[in-house]
Structure 1
Amino acid sequence: MLMFKKLLKACVVVSLATLFSHSALAATSEIVSKPAIKARLLTVQNGVPKDTAVLSAGIQLELDDGWKTYWRSPGEVGIPPQVDWSGSQNVANVQFEWPAPARFTAFGIENFGYQGEVVFPLQVHLENPGEAVVLAARMSVLVCSDICVPQTLDLSLTLPKGSEIDRASGDLIAKFAKKIPLEGDQAGVETARAFIDEDRTKFIIDLAATNTLKQPDVFPELGAGTALGKPDIRLSEADSRIWARFPILSFNEATFEVPSVTITDGPDRASTVQPDLVTTALAPPFSIDAVVPGVDEMVWIVALAFLGGLILNVMPCVLPVLSIKLTSALKFNGQNTAAVRGGFLASAIGVMVFVWGLALALFALQRMGIAVGWGLQFQNPVFLAGMTGVLIIFSGNLFGAFEILLPPSLQTWLSNKEAGQGYWGDFFTGLFGAVLATPCSAPLLGTAIAFALAGRAIDIFVVFTSLGLGLAAPYLIVAAVPGLVKFLPKPGRWMIFLKVFLGFMLSGTVLWLLWVLTGVAGLTVSLTVLTLALALVAVLSMRHGSARLRFLGSGVLAGLLLAVPVALSQAREDQLQEQSLLDWVEFDRSNIAPLISQGQVVFVDVTADWCLTCKANKVLVLDREPVRSALTADNVTAMRADWTRPDEKISRYLSRHHRFGIPFNAVYGPAAQEGIVLPELLTTAEVMEALAAAKGKPVSEIPPAE
């Protein structure tokens, strides 16, 4: 490398010092023009000097405005230029050099490459020094703008014997030779360390430079097939130390090699180093003050969190929550004010305990480097099985099959004899109501959750506390004004029928949980959980229920054991049939850019069986006209990311958009490279407008499906 640069400098000096008595022909090939790109071969020498074994040459590419091509490591997607020299004569080999790249972001994807003009310097090693040379290059290059077009460029240049210098070509090659990253002692790097976690989810680099840096960028190379996302780059210690963290989007163990890192700082300053791999994560050398929100921003986020929690009470998941709330309210009708206030306060405390516990768990998982988000506990089969069992028992209690009482001594220890048992029941009413609200993502909630999980521990605590207060607001309102209970009808026989009705509502929630559990763990696990829970209900009914209830319970048990497997299987078949009718393709983030390059609009739907808001969007918007026809049009690709089970690539995709919950919908297209992110609750107008904007056409011009 250093010898090559010395040779280039010598050539430039000679060209400036030597004046020829006659005009020499420029040593360049004919310009090859293709759509969006022009190319030519050029050499410093117009001929091959006597005894010369190495020639200095270059391949020049000129790209139209808005077009780019790729570096040797293209980034998340793309193909680097490749050259075949097999048609050359008197050429032993050609060393292809890479000027430092620039970073491009398109379609939400990070790429490395060049735009405008680039010259790739070449060292041409001759088989027979001093003899004539024929350079024949077949270059395959991918050029991209709103679309990507592969091009093949056939370049040819013949150099006879001679000793003349082409000053213009030499200056142009020397200009881009300066952009080749320095290595070794010339790199200007004192120390360089790198860390890759065991799960291959993040790459961290920490290096100290010998000189001050101004606007550095970092380009790692970990081998073919490994793609990195947008980095977090920090500069400290008198602007001479770089710390950068990259999310690893895909990792190829078969092609993994010792990491190489290129650092750029401006157009003409670049270095390449091979850092030492360490086994301990490299912490950032300092914290960024900008990540600490101001008071005004914090107040705004707190308000969003409170409103999001409040709206959760009226989201599609409200039915199971409402059933528990109504059951809790019924037993207070006719009681004294203190009992009413105490019961609803206990429910509010149950909500807050769950929310604080969830915040603590998410914080711990976040610090462990595990993907976190709102409602992710519904991806856990153990959690689903436990919730299903608990709600089956709750349903049996509402049907009047049994009633579980705390031991008298424990009741006395917990509280007074009048309200101890009831308060604990109210506490769990609030707690389970909050649990069942988490599959929903209300408007405004996504922004608040993203702010919390991307921030500090105090941010998580404050935001989740505000969210919990919003979710607990109905309980707190009744606790503040107990007289509201008086507006409920007076106790009577209707309460028995209402309890049975609420039991059926809660049973519907049980069936939904079993359906989710089937998707996560399989039908066998779901039926096992159902059988065990119903068996427990039957045992409790025999101990605490009447003969009539035992008979009724046996019939319900037998009916459920026969009907539920059929219902779950049919639901799965219906789901698969609906997916085939809409022609959803499996989510693959790396396919978004190629599809758009073909003129496609890509609609991404991140959903899950446990996400009730997702189901509402599907039924109310995505499966209805005109959205259904728009998503099945020839120029639209509907891409579905199923997050029912944990999926790292979906988690990374969401985190890149600073989202930690679903539903999440985005539309990409030639006119929306970064994607148009839609709100949690979809409307027909918003989806159609986004599809039109991504295509760059009015809504009326989107062709319907045939």
Structure 2
Amino acid sequence: MFARLVALFSILAAPLWAAESPVSAGAVSRGQIISVEDGVGPGGRTVSAGLAIALDDGWKTYWRSPGEVGLPPELSWDGSENIASVTLSYPAPTRFEAFEIQNFGYGQEVLFPLTVMLTEAGKPARLSLDANILVCADVCIPETLSMTLDLPRGGGIDMAAADRLSTWIAQVPKTGEEAGITLEQVHLDDAALTFLARSEVSFGGVDVFPEHGDYAAFGLPEIVLADGGQTLWARLPVLSPGDGALDLTLVDGDRAATLRADPGAAPPARPTTGTGLWGILLVAMLGGLILNVMPCVLPVLSIKLTSALAMADQSRARVRAGFLASVAGVLAFFAVLSGLVIALRAAGVAVGWGIQFQNPVFLALMIGLIVLFAANMLGFFAVGIGSGAMTGMARTESRGGLGGDFATGAFAAVMATPCSAPFIGTAVTYALTHGPTEVLAVFLAMGLGLSAPYLAVAVWPGLIRLLPRPGRWMKTVQAGLACLLLLTAVWLVSVLAASAGWPLALAVSGLAAAMFAALALRRWPVLVGSVGLAAVLAVAMVVPTAPVAVASVATGWDVWSEDRVRDEVAAGQVVFVDVTADWCLTCKANKRLVLDQGAVAEALSQVTALQADWTRPSDTITEYLRANGRFGIPFNQVFGPGAPDGIVLPELLTEAVVLEALARAAD
């Protein structure tokens, strides 16, 4: 807009007095039109001018989007002569409070740059302006400032006036590209505006000024900087809904940019701060290591235990190779998972930890595979059962095939995903709020932690000799471990029923049981296993899922909604939120060991206990988790008069943690 003005500033001319209108004085404000040129030069079609407004101490006036209250300037150029158009630009605003309400505008003085287009080039012109402005201090008063500036034929530039105007032109927000700022993710709903932006240089004392129609109003932004200040996450509560285009003006010291926002389906997660990538990788490794003792992984470790017992008399090289193959299986799964996450994010799909257990086809596949493993543990077959993607599963641990070792590692990683452990939430949140490199690095670090027991035996194969020597007792152990696997399959059938309905769950379980019985005959295991697994998958893809029923929760709990939380807190109540799912074993453990026990159960009976069931996909629950910087469950939060914004609890609950949070929220 000001390219021509910049060119004019470069013209060397004899210093002349700049044209300016008489000062128009109001009760607390003064206005004046100034012009860089003292007149209209030969052939001139534009005039570079400015509207200067000065205010008494303590008074403010408003930006084009005033905030919660206020009015932008209203300008009338009626009475002007030889004027085709006047374009006013707004310098970046500041935030101020009027009557404890957030507003956007200017204090002391402001100069609005004006680009004046003439109707007839080179002819004299007159600028006649009535500026209606609202000015506020302890009270607000409207003022009208009337100004007239005549521009005769002439020419010449006053450099002092040009410098003054250029100072204010530099404060007009640029485009995002010009300022080196990009919007990566934006979400707007009835509760809040949330966005993630990145900058080529670090942000400093940044502020956000949103515009969304004439009636929108937003509260004070919550701002989080990460990645050395180059990533900005902000959340602004919606006070009054708007409409039309959504623009965000970011003001960061001397830098300002206005960006057009395109809201998406899910809000960006709050980034993790205070920990660099190397620290997060350590956190991810610790989380993966702890997953080894979580209930999701124990059934798979039973397979490796049986294999280890059988390998006690084998060479150190064979032991090392077998356990390294299991490490490779774990890392391969996490590499594939990270690639899938990166691809889904690039496609704009919301992702989270363990959400594959919301997919009926995935659940059916897991049921079939676990039944195959159980049949193998019972000695029903000891050779491969398929080809292609099933090759790794085809080789059995007892026969010493490295493919079986690899498959065991990959299967352990798959079964780890419905569990959450300390540090996992932090690591996953960091990964899913950063780029592809960080996603791959964090997921591989988790895999390295999960495979640490296998890696330890690979490094020190002699550890295997500490196990009891093989004997007839191993058959009893194998039978017990096979029963553990079958119980896992039964649990997954119940998850499938909750996710897709009992018709599909019964069909899948019936086919899996038939495959198990056929394998017990010990004839044609390759054919039986391949056909059985294919049939399970086919049924899962063909049989329709049951329609979503009305939300139901456990006895003693009410159905969660964000509106319900707000209403209860406004009424002075303490609210405990539990986001759970039938496939989340850590959630089950928290409930059985903490929430349903003793003092905690008694305390929850005295507050409003709300439960959100994430067994099936739910955009509402997904967005709630993301708004709180989480991508998986369990997730528990406590609200109350003393904690209106909520207290987020750790993944693994204890009685002390829950009771302390309830007490803090009640204060």
TM range (shorter): 0.5 to 0.7
Residues in 1 aligned to 2:423 and 2:143: alpha-carbon distance in whole angstroms: 50
Letter aligned with residue 559 of structure 2: V
User: TM-score of the superposition, structure 2-length normalised?
Assistant: 0.61
* Offset, 1:325: 2.0
Query: Hey, what does 2:353 align to over in structure 1?
Result: 374
| Aligned residues of 1:518 and 1:525 also touching (Cα < 8 A) | yes
Q: Are 1:116 and 2:100 matched, yes or no? A: yes
SS at match of 2:555: helix
Question: Of residues 136, 139, 147 in structure 2, which corresponds to 1:172?
Answer: 139
Letter aligned with residue 259 of structure 1: A
* Offset, 1:643: 1.4
1:608/1:14 Cα in 2 relative to 1: closer, same or farther (>3 Å)? closer
Say which is worse superposed, 217-226 or 194-203, in terms of deviation.
194-203
Residues in 1 aligned to 2:633 and 2:263: alpha-carbon distance in whole angstroms: 34
1:412/1:602 Cα in 2 relative to 1: closer, same or farther (>3 Å)? closer
Query: Hey, what does 2:572 align to over in structure 1?
Result: 599
SS at match of 2:140: helix
Query: Hey, what does 2:655 align to over in structure 1?
Result: 684
SS at match of 2:422: coil
SS at match of 2:139: helix
Residues in 2 aligned to 1:680 and 1:203: alpha-carbon distance in whole angstroms: 24
* Offset, 1:497: 1.6
Query: Hey, what does 2:469 align to over in structure 1?
Result: 490
Residues 554-607 of structure 1: per-residue CA shift (max 9 Å, x gap): xxxxxxxxxxxxxxxxxx9xx96xx4532333232x433332121111211111
Question: Of residues 332, 342, 347 in structure 1, which corresponds to 2:326?
Answer: 347
Letter aligned with residue 583 of structure 1: W
SS at match of 2:494: helix
* Offset, 1:496: 1.5
1:653/1:249 Cα in 2 relative to 1: closer, same or farther (>3 Å)? farther
Question: Of residues 244, 251, 258 in structure 2, which corresponds to 1:258?
Answer: 244
Letter aligned with residue 174 of structure 1: I
Residues in 1 aligned to 2:336 and 2:246: alpha-carbon distance in whole angstroms: 42
Q: Are 1:646 and 2:617 matched, yes or no? A: yes
The runs of 5 or more residues in structure 2 that have no matched partner are: 1-23, 32-64, 71-91, 105-134, 146-168, 198-203, 266-270, 529-548
Question: Of residues 590, 597, 600 in structure 2, which corresponds to 1:624?
Answer: 597
Letter aligned with residue 505 of structure 1: L
| Aligned residues of 1:333 and 1:486 also touching (Cα < 8 A) | yes
* Offset, 1:374: 1.7
* Offset, 1:205: 11
SS at match of 2:637: strand
Say which is worse superposed, 257-266 or 366-375, in terms of deviation.
257-266
| Aligned residues of 1:317 and 1:437 also touching (Cα < 8 A) | yes
Matched length: 496
Residues in 2 aligned to 1:197 and 1:455: alpha-carbon distance in whole angstroms: 12
1:334/1:101 Cα in 2 relative to 1: closer, same or farther (>3 Å)? same
SS at match of 1:626: helix
Letter aligned with residue 173 of structure 1: C
SS at match of 1:441: coil
Q: Are 1:218 and 2:209 matched, yes or no? A: yes
| Aligned residues of 1:11 and 1:170 also touching (Cα < 8 A) | no
SS at match of 1:603: strand
Query: Hey, what does 2:508 align to over in structure 1?
Result: 529
Report 1:477-626 matches (<5 A).
477-542=456-521, 544=523, 579-588=553-562, 590-626=563-599
Residues in 2 aligned to 1:592 and 1:176: alpha-carbon distance in whole angstroms: 44
| Aligned residues of 2:219 and 2:237 also touching (Cα < 8 A) | yes
| Aligned residues of 2:576 and 2:604 also touching (Cα < 8 A) | yes
Residues in 2 aligned to 1:413 and 1:453: alpha-carbon distance in whole angstroms: 30
Residues in 2 aligned to 1:484 and 1:529: alpha-carbon distance in whole angstroms: 41
Report 1:211-250 matches (<5 A).
215-221=206-212
| Aligned residues of 1:439 and 1:612 also touching (Cα < 8 A) | yes
1:196/1:177 Cα in 2 relative to 1: closer, same or farther (>3 Å)? farther
Letter aligned with residue 680 of structure 1: E
Letter aligned with residue 601 of structure 2: R
SS at match of 1:582: coil
Query: Hey, what does 1:4 align to over in structure 2?
Result: none
Letter aligned with residue 555 of structure 2: L
1:301/1:257 Cα in 2 relative to 1: closer, same or farther (>3 Å)? closer
1:678/1:412 Cα in 2 relative to 1: closer, same or farther (>3 Å)? closer
* Offset, 1:227: 9.8
1:463/1:190 Cα in 2 relative to 1: closer, same or farther (>3 Å)? closer
Q: Are 1:12 and 2:32 matched, yes or no? A: no
Q: Are 1:661 and 2:632 matched, yes or no? A: yes
SS at match of 1:392: helix
Q: Are 1:695 and 2:666 matched, yes or no? A: yes
1:580/1:481 Cα in 2 relative to 1: closer, same or farther (>3 Å)? closer
1:276/1:15 Cα in 2 relative to 1: closer, same or farther (>3 Å)? closer
Letter aligned with residue 258 of structure 1: G
SS at match of 2:632: coil
| Aligned residues of 2:272 and 2:430 also touching (Cα < 8 A) | no
| Aligned residues of 2:304 and 2:408 also touching (Cα < 8 A) | yes
1:491/1:591 Cα in 2 relative to 1: closer, same or farther (>3 Å)? same
| Aligned residues of 1:443 and 1:679 also touching (Cα < 8 A) | yes
* Offset, 1:646: 1.6
* Offset, 1:341: 1.2
* Offset, 1:493: 1.7
Alignment root-mean-square deviation, CA: 5.4
* Offset, 1:204: 7.7
1:352/1:592 Cα in 2 relative to 1: closer, same or farther (>3 Å)? same
Query: Hey, what does 1:392 align to over in structure 2?
Result: 371
| Aligned residues of 2:560 and 2:577 also touching (Cα < 8 A) | no
- Aligned sequence identity (%): 42
SS at match of 2:298: helix
* Offset, 1:543: 5.3
* Offset, 1:495: 1.4
Query: Hey, what does 1:428 align to over in structure 2?
Result: 407
Residues 474-519 of structure 1: per-residue CA shift (max 9 Å, x gap): 1111111112222222222211221111110000100111111111
1:382/1:12 Cα in 2 relative to 1: closer, same or farther (>3 Å)? same
Letter aligned with residue 480 of structure 2: F
Letter aligned with residue 643 of structure 2: A
* Offset, 1:413: 14
| Aligned residues of 1:665 and 1:678 also touching (Cα < 8 A) | yes
Letter aligned with residue 210 of structure 2: F
Query: Hey, what does 2:340 align to over in structure 1?
Result: 361
Residues 205-257 of structure 1: per-residue CA shift (max 9 Å, x gap): 99xxxxxx9854222437999999978899xxxxxxx999888999x9xx984
Report 1:62-101 matches (<5 A).
none
Residues 361-380 of structure 1: per-residue CA shift (max 9 Å, x gap): 11222222222222121111
Letter aligned with residue 437 of structure 1: A
| Aligned residues of 1:448 and 1:463 also touching (Cα < 8 A) | yes
Letter aligned with residue 522 of structure 1: G
User: TM-score of the superposition, structure 1-length normalised?
Assistant: 0.58
Question: Of residues 445, 452, 455 in structure 2, which corresponds to 1:473?
Answer: 452
Residues in 2 aligned to 1:526 and 1:366: alpha-carbon distance in whole angstroms: 30
| Aligned residues of 2:282 and 2:445 also touching (Cα < 8 A) | yes
| Aligned residues of 2:633 and 2:651 also touching (Cα < 8 A) | yes
Letter aligned with residue 695 of structure 1: A
Residues in 1 aligned to 2:386 and 2:206: alpha-carbon distance in whole angstroms: 69
Residues in 1 aligned to 2:434 and 2:592: alpha-carbon distance in whole angstroms: 35
* Offset, 1:316: 2.8
1:340/1:226 Cα in 2 relative to 1: closer, same or farther (>3 Å)? farther
